[in-house]
Amino acid sequence: MDFDWLRKHGSFPKENAEAYDVVKKYSDNLKANLDSGKGLILRGPAGTGKTSIAVSILKRAMTLGKGCLMISMPNLLDTMLTLSKGDNVAYLRFEQKLRNIPLLLLDDFGAEYSKSDWVPSKVESIIIDRYNRMKPIILTTNYSDTWTKENYSQRVYDRLRGEYAVAIFNGESHR
């Protein structure tokens, strides 16, 4: 499924017209956004199409020759916790990849939160590092802006708020 396919065949519910416009604008300026480190947040309830449309942007980024990595947050944290207890080289390689890949898609941001204390600080460090080096992140989340503010540090919240386009999805699940 890519963005053009979605345009043609997707049932674009009226309540998501604005969200799709934000995504379309981001996608139309993708090269400039990737080069300037501008990210995108897709926020909204389960099943509203956030991950599908995020993947369509990744596919477009790949046609521009940009390396992309998609990982769900629970999976990211499980991998980090497991690797951090074992082979140091494998762990560092994984973390370097998260920091250096041109476009990172963090799917289900917030779903990792309860797993450990170490986790939010690790995620914060990666987000801030990528921000400083103008490397964009696309982030999907079920959590509200307020939740992010309360559960991540002000430093992360400010960066996400200041430098990211935000598409808010509403309505019923497509599932």
Ligand X SMILES: Nc1ncnc2c1ncn2[C@@H]1O[C@H](COP(=O)(O)OP(=O)(O)OP(=O)(O)O)[C@@H](O)[C@H]1O
Residues lying near ligand X in the complex (CB under 6 A) are found at 6, 10-12, 46-52, 108, 140, 142, 174-175
- Residue placing its CB nearer to ligand X in the complex, 37 or 74: 74
Q: How far is the CB of 132 from ligand X (least distance, A)?
A: 28
Q: How far is the CB of 42 from Mg ion (least distance, A)?
A: 8
The entry of Mg ion, ligand X, none near residue 101 (CB within 5 to 8 angstroms by kind) is none
**Three-class DSSP category at 164:** strand
Of the candidates 168, 160, 143, the one whose C-alpha atom is nearest the C-alpha of residue 49 is 168
Tell whether residue 52 is a contact of Mg ion (CB under 5 A): no
Q: How far is the CB of 48 from Mg ion (least distance, A)?
A: 9
How far apart CA 95 and CA 77 sit, in angstroms, is: 11
Name the segment binding Mg ion (CB under 5 A); options: 1-9, 48-56, 62-70, 125-133.
48-56
- Residue placing its CB nearer to ligand X in the complex, 50 or 135: 50
Q: How far is the CB of 92 from ligand X (least distance, A)?
A: 30
Tell whether residue 75 is a contact of Mg ion (CB under 5 A): no
How far apart CA 110 and CA 115 sit, in angstroms, is: 10
**Three-class DSSP category at 10:** coil
Contacts of 125 by beta carbon, 8 Å cutoff, 6+ apart: none
How far apart CA 172 and CA 30 sit, in angstroms, is: 28
Pairing of strands 39-43, 103-109: unpaired
- Residue placing its CB nearer to ligand X in the complex, 131 or 138: 138
